Structure 1
């Protein structure tokens, strides 16, 4: 029988391991974060790490969540959700993401090089936030590409921008690169006049797709069929 004390002890050990791995990462870099080194720094046996985290990727995920939570809680980031401006909200999210990557280069490198090839929980959570922001753009009639393409274009551009900047000596970095990249992506995915919703057939179809799940009087099968038609039309028009 597992007692409350046992659970507390397990949580304490887990937190200690994450703290040790985070300290190694900051002081000695990504190459120093090995299972053996973390176990030694945390004062535990290596099997304890595997039991609590599964593998090194699991440990990296836990470190990423810890660092990201600390980063977010320590910042006062103004959001534009209340202003009703989805483009401004997207810009704020982009800047925060790029700044996090540049502030935590070793962690970002570890997350980008996860052995399993599967995205980390932190990456998945970030994509979910971005997906909601893209949905707001679509619902406002501002997208001229489908939501999934817009999502992946923004995500890929953001990831590439961070890696490009991290691969350049700080004194040689282009301070305007991040904003220029975002502007280039927005030019590609937004209607030509974002201040006024685009009423072209393609953009209307993208916007309609955002309300399809909530249309009354349709069965799930009918919604699925309509979604398939919309996807086919959008894919054909952007191919």
Structure 2
């Protein structure tokens, strides 16, 4: 095992065992049997080490999403994605709190990848006409709600002790994001936002729209504004 890998493994174990999730570089060096210069050479500083710990721990969770084949139902994939996210937080409370700590000035790479995967699934839903709003705004709503629920469950288990809380919040947020049932006809005026969201998603994927790069960007901006207007005024 390389020196970097040993330091990372020790730091991850100490984070998991810590009462509050905090660790010192001195404790890591002692447990890994390395000098401080070696730690700083590989990770820069304590924040760099903790960011690497988060990415290391979250990588196994993200691997299941990277390797997951897309189903024909992106909405079901998104429901399952919410549940697996919360389950990961409950299994790894210190790591999850660390990942979302304000002390982490630079978001770990794993957080950005998780957001990209979420947005990709929402774009698939938009292409099927199943989003009320643009994928970007939907991703912000879902990610903030998922993270908020998970943090409350791991940080205040005495107050948030109902196992069904996550499911109820998930269903409430998804009801605001997804169309009720695309197989049921809806009045044209209420269907405009979801149609705009779908067209925007298809335009992003299309390579032959006939529009220039600037025109495509402008059209996407207009469509996203239309798709989000119902939410802003609702």
TM-score by length of 2: 0.86
Query: What's the counterpart of residue 154 of structure 1?
Result: 142
**TM-aligned CA distance change 1:27 to 1:229, over 3 Å:** closer
Question: 1:120-159 to 2 correspondence within 5 Å?
Answer: 120-159=108-147
The aligned length equals: 227
Q: Aligned match of 2:38 in 35, 44, 48?
A: 48
- Tell me how far 1:29 sits from its aligned partner: 3.7
1:18 aligns with 2:18: no
Residue in 1 that maps onto 2:26: 36
Q: Does 1:81 align with 2:74?
A: no
Q: Which moved more, 1:13-22 or 1:37-46?
A: 37-46
SS at match of 2:5: helix
Give the one of 193, 201, 206 matched to 2:192.
Answer: 201
Partner residue of 2:175?
187
- In structure 1, the partner of 2:85 is 97
Q: Post-superposition shift, 1:27?
A: 2.2
For residues 133-163 of structure 1, give each alpha carbon's deviation from its aligned partner in whole angstroms, at most 9, with x where no partner exists. Answer: 1111111101111111110111011001011
Q: Is the 8 A contact 2:145 2:173 kept in 1?
A: yes
- 1:152/1:72 CA distance change after superposition, 3 Å: closer
Following TM superposition, the consecutive aligned residue runs of length 4 or more in structure 1 with deviations greater than 6 angstroms are: none
Which deviates more, 114-123 or 125-134? 114-123
Counterpart check, 1:211 vs 2:202: yes
1:207 positional shift: 0.3
Q: 1:79 to 1:228 in 2, by over 3 A?
A: closer
**Are the counterparts in 2 of residues 30 and 107 from structure 1 also a CA contact under 8 Å?**
no
What is aligned with 1:168?
A: 156
Distance 1:128 1:172, change over 3 A: closer
Q: Which runs of 5+ in 1 are unaligned?
A: 1-10
1:27 aligned onto 2:20: no
Which digits, 9 at most, give the CA deviation of each residue in 1:20-61, with x for residues without a partner? 101212223445411111111111122222221122222122
